[in-house]
Each structure stands twice: as structure tokens, then as C-alpha cells.
Amino acid sequence: MKQSLLHIDAEFCNQYKGLLEIQRNIYEDLKVYSFDLNKDEITQAVIQRMNSFWYFHINNNKGILNRQVNTVAADFFNETCLLFIKSFFIKFEIEVSSERNILKTKSKKSIRPDLSLWKNEELIAVIELKVSDGWNRKNMLNHLEERKKSIQAEWPNVYFGAISYWSFSNIDDFLYPDYIGLLIHKGEKENHLHTGKTIEQIFKRILDVKKIYRKES
């Protein structure tokens, strides 16, 4: 008997819908996970998820669909970082928000960092996320510093950091651990070298600068 189009496509749809329950279970496990900031598990987990994202989308776009451009990875990178950062800081009673307006007074204008960390309604840290330094690579440092300046004009004591999947153009070497890149891009078919810089070090920096300690249960 001939299968209908919907029946043929159902396997993909069911697999995709099933990811929600998988994600929910992972988040519940992460909320009670004993993270070790002396390791690089969080960094490796972010890289692993991004590799999975690109494995599907690059092979789907280039190998099956013959599409000339790849699916934009920025949103998935933000969601991936948000999952692990939110899971870590929940133990410190720190709320992690994405694209939340940080201005103290209502206005037509807004400042919405990629990630903002809040403790008792006080903004304690901002982390901007980049897949790469992109079109603005020559001015990325200036862009980040201007962003930092505008945010600290509103919240003078806030910590400001940035995470890029692909390494910034050598600017993260002297600004580490506040600005970090995870991998060095060497072309689509090359093995990408790790920079040796970790997301864990940004976490350490935030906890140290803001003098935050986990409450023992």
C-alpha cells in the first residue's frame, strides 16, 4: 500500500518533537549536577552541541537540499550557552535571562544583552554571545567595549564578558578570561583547534568578582 506524504514525513516530525522531552530531562539533571570549574566539561558540552547542529544542517543543506548558504547558528549557540549557564548558576540563586531589557527606567529605548545574570533584582553580570567575529571582525573589540560602556553606564558594577564559538581575531588572548573564543576556525574541512580557553573560567571570574558563594544545603 502506498504511503501518504504525511506518513513518510512523520518520522522526522516525531523525532523533532521528541527533542523537547529530552531537553527537559537534561535540564532537570543539570540543575542537580555537581559542576567542577577546574574541568572543561561545560566548554566541551557546548562544542559537542554545536558540532551536532552543524553536522545535521551542513549535510542537509549541502548534501540533500543543495542550498548555497548554511542555517544561521547564532540562535542555537545562544540557546546552548543559556542552557548550561542557567543550569550552573541556579545553585547560587542567580537568575539567567536572555534578551531581557536591563534599563532601570521605562523608555522607548532598550538594552537587551544576550545573557544577563540577576541576583535579588540586581544585574551582576552580562555575557554577550558570538558565533564568530563575523563582518565586524576588525572592530569587534571596539564594539564590545562600547557595549560594555553603555551597560555599565546603567549598572556601574556589572561584570561584562563575551563568549565566541570561533576565536576572536586574537583579542581574547590579552582579555581572557573576560572575552573568550573556544575554537580556531581552519576551514570547513579542517580540524579546528581548541584555544585552551574555557567557559568555566568566565564562571570563576563572575563568582570571584561579585563575591558570590554557594549556600550549603
Q: Is residue 214 part of a domain?
A: no
Q: Is residue 135 part of a domain?
A: yes
pLDDT at 79: 98
**By residue range, what is the domain housing residue 102?**
5-209
pLDDT at 132: 77
pLDDT at 172: 59
Q: Is residue 215 part of a domain?
A: no
- Return the amino acid letter for 49: R
pLDDT at 74: 95
pLDDT at 193: 87
Q: Is residue 20 part of a domain?
A: yes
Q: How many CB atoms lie within 10 A of CB 155?
A: 19
Local confidence pLDDT in tens for the 217 residues of the chain: 789 999 999 999 999 999 999 999 999 999 999 999 999 999 999 999 999 999 999 999 999 999 999 899 999 999 999 999 999 999 999 999 999 999 998 887 999 999 999 999 999 999 999 997 566 666 888 889 999 999 999 999 999 999 999 987 656 577 889 999 999 876 665 678 899 999 999 999 999 998 887 665 4
Alpha carbon distance 184, 192 (integer Å): 6
Domain count, the chain: 1
Q: Is residue 217 part of a domain?
A: no
Cell numbers representing residue 67 in the block: 542550498
Q: Is residue 61 part of a domain?
A: yes
Q: Is residue 216 part of a domain?
A: no
Q: Is residue 113 part of a domain?
A: yes
Interhelix angle 41-58/199-209, nearest 10 degrees: 140
Q: Is 0.95 topped by the overall pTM?
A: no
- Return the amino acid letter for 181: G
Q: How far apart, in Å, do the first and last CA atoms of the chain sit?
A: 61
